[in-house]
């Protein structure tokens, strides 16, 4: 995909530090931060939601780097988006259930959610720190 001409406003790519070599398909990701502020950013597809969220200042820590062992990438999936995601694997579910902020209807680990173009418009909320 050819990189579009430079724009005179930030469309979110600057927030996640993409260089020319990193350019890939992008899709809209709506994120409510821990202050309740909703952001609309461009998330790179083909990688986990966590990879985008850990690059923004108000995003997730993701200290295990996506190994499904820290739960610092906990998000709440909004609306009916939860039904459109593949079900969590047992290890993800087990880790989520240990969290005080676990919500069975909305909780996911963002490192285990692959972001695809078909998920453009996905809305998530960053869960409180544990």
Residue 54: CB minimum distance to ligand FES, A: 8
Site string for ligand FES, 11-40 (x = CB under 6 A): ------------------------------
- Asked if 71 touches ligand FES (CB under 6 A), the answer is yes
CA distance 91 to 57: 28
Q: Near ligand FES by CB under 6 A, which window of 10-18, 58-66, 83-91, 96-104?
A: 58-66
The single residue listed with the structure tokens 């997730």 is 60
Q: Among 45, 52, 72, 107, which residue interacts with ligand FES (rule: CB under 6 A)?
A: 72
- Asked if 50 touches ligand FES (CB under 6 A), the answer is yes
- Asked if 96 touches ligand FES (CB under 6 A), the answer is no
- Asked if 66 touches ligand FES (CB under 6 A), the answer is yes
Q: Which chain residues interact with ligand FES by CB under 6 A?
A: 50, 62, 64, 66-73, 109, 111
């Amino acid at each position: 995909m050819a990189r579009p001409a430079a724009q005179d406003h930030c469309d979110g790519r600057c927030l996640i530090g993409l260089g020319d070599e990193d350019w890939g398909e992008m899709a809209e990701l709506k994120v409510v931060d821990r202050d309740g502020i909703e952001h609309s950013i461009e998330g790179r597809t083909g990688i986990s939601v966590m990879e985008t969220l850990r690059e923004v200042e108000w995003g997730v820590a993701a200290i295990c780097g996506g190994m499904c062992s820290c739960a610092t990438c906990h998000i709440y999936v909004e609306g009916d988006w939860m039904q459109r995601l593949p079900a969590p694997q047992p290890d993800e579910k087990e880790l989520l259930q240990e969290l005080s902020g676990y919500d069975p209807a909305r909780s996911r680990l963002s490192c285990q959610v692959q972001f695809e173009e078909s998920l453009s418009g996905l809305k998530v909320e960053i869960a409180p720190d544990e």
